[in-house]
Amino acid sequence: MHPSLGSLGHRPWALPGRPWIMAQRWHDLLFAHWPVPPAKMRTLVPQELEVDCFDGQSWIGIVPFRMSGVRLRGTPSLPGLSAFPELNVRTYVRLERKPGVWFFSLDAGSRVAVEVARGWFHLPYFSAGMSARSHAAEITYRSRRTDRRGGAAQLEARYGPSGEPFQAQAGTLEHFLTERYCLYARRPAGGLLRAEIHHAPWLLEKASATFQQNTMTLGLGIELRDEPLVHFSKLQEVVVWAPEEVGS
The answer to whether residue 13 is domain-embedded is no
Tell me which residue range forms the domain holding 127. 3-8+20-246
Domain-embedded: residue 111: yes
Q: What is the pLDDT of residues 156-205, one digit of tens each?
A: 999 999 989 999 999 999 999 999 999 999 998 889 999 999 999 999 99
* Residue 15 within a domain: no
222 domain residue, yes or no:
yes
Q: List the CATH number of the domain containing 155.
A: 2.40.400.10
Q: pLDDT tens across 93-105, in order?
A: 999 999 999 999 9
Residue 74 included in any domain: yes
Determine, yes or no, domain membership for 181.
yes
102 assigned to some structural domain: yes
Written as one letter, the residue type at 82 is S
Q: Into how many domains does the chain fold?
A: 1
189 found inside a domain? yes
pLDDT of 123: 97
Cβ atoms < 10 Å from Cβ of 232? 25
pTM of the entire predicted model: 0.96
pLDDT single digits (tens) 47-102: 999 999 999 999 999 999 999 999 999 998 876 778 999 999 999 999 999 999 99
